[in-house]
Structure 1
């Protein structure tokens, strides 16, 4: 059983040392809770639970703390993929929901498993999700001052359960100040993908991740027999060719962790019940 999570990127130029330490501590705490949950739950249930904790933490750009778009509104996206069943579900540009990843989880039982905009919100209300504003004062200040702090942020989790099953979940509050209707990578297989061989969650500039098909490429290459390290190496080399800005976390079916970013510094934490690894 293993778990690895990410919380977007950290820039020394626009975030303080205190924020960095707070993120390190929060990721370690959330990874611990996620691993404890994994003891008695499936990989799919665990990645949803863990990403919901990240959505509930205003330090990260998902759920509470999401970025504000150019028209002053918050729209979020999230997706879930079960490596065993190969089912993918997600919501795109959903508004006024506390935990978009939990809506994606409910959608797993539907034939129509990816919903956007008003349809996603209507579905959430019909399935017991309360109307909830995820805006926090800091994001409004950033919006009004046209600051773009944290604009390359997303949260995600991949897990390997005690039955050897993999799952991946990713959630984002956008990049901030984007054109209304813009779609990120987070609710696509470019940003969130899993099968029985590997699970990957990405963060960074959504357009670059989609252009590179980052998560799907890594998983496909591992499935074809490439080691997880080599799969990352080749995929990130291709990302470099387009000067892409991205980071990714992954676990393969043998329990090997891997993470990489094209520009420093993706914030992440991994835990296998014994050893922690947290970003510097």
Structure 2
């Protein structure tokens, strides 16, 4: 059993040492809680749980603390994929729910598994998800002052459970100030993908990740026989060719972990029950 989570990127120029320390402590705590949960739950259930904890933490751009779009409204996206069944479900541009990832998880049993906008919110309302504002004063101030820092902050989790099953989950509050209706990578196979060989969650500029098909490429290459490191190297070299901005976390079916970013520093933490690794 292993788990790895990410919380977007950290910029030394835009954020303080206190914020960096807070994120390190937060990621470590969430990774530990998620690993304990993984002991008695499947990888699919555990990644949803981990991402819900990240969504609840105002340090990250997902759930509570999400960025505000160009028209002053918060719209969030999230997706989850079960590596065993290779079924993915998600919500795109959903408003006023506390945990988009849990709505995405609820959709896994539906025939129509990816919903957007009003349809996603209607489904959430009908399935017991309470109306909830995820806005915080800091984001409103940033919006009003037209600040552009901190916009690359998607969160995600990848896990392998005791039965060797893999899953990935990803959630985002967007990049901030975007054109309403913009669709990120998070609820696509470019940003969140898994099968029985590998699971990947991405963060960064959604347009770059979609153009590069980052998560799908990594998983496909591992499936075809490349090691995780080889798959990442090839995929990130292709990302570099388009000057793409992305980071990714992954686990393969042997329990190997890997992470890489094109523009340091992606914030992440992983835990195997004994050892932590946290971004520096």
* TM-score (normalizing by structure 1): 1.00
Where has structure 1 moved over 6 Å in runs of 4 or more?
A: none
Aligned to 1:75: 75
Aligned residues: 280
Cα shift at 1:148: 1.6
Give the Cα separation in 2 of the matches to 1:148 and 1:17: 19
Aligned to 2:176: 176
Residues 71-91 of structure 1 show CA distances to partners (whole Å, capped at 9, x for unaligned) of 000000000000000100000
Cα shift at 1:100: 0.2
Aligned to 1:258: 258
Cα shift at 1:62: 0.1
1:271 aligns with 2:271: yes
Aligned to 1:137: 137
Residues 88-147 of structure 1 show CA distances to partners (whole Å, capped at 9, x for unaligned) of 000000000000000001000100000000000000000000000000000000000001
Aligned to 2:12: 12
**Structure 2: 5+ residue stretches without partners:** none
Give the Cα separation in 1 of the matches to 2:77 and 2:117: 10
Aligned to 1:117: 117
Cα shift at 1:274: 1.0
Give the Cα separation in 2 of the matches to 1:206 and 1:232: 18
**Structure 1: 5+ residue stretches without partners:** none
Give the Cα separation in 2 of the matches to 1:40 and 1:152: 33
Map residues 120-199 of structure 1 onto 2, 5 A cutoff. Answer: 120-199=120-199
Give the Cα separation in 1 of the matches to 2:107 and 2:87: 10
Cα shift at 1:152: 0.8
Q: Determine helix, strand or coil for the equivalent of 2:150.
A: coil
Cα shift at 1:67: 0.1
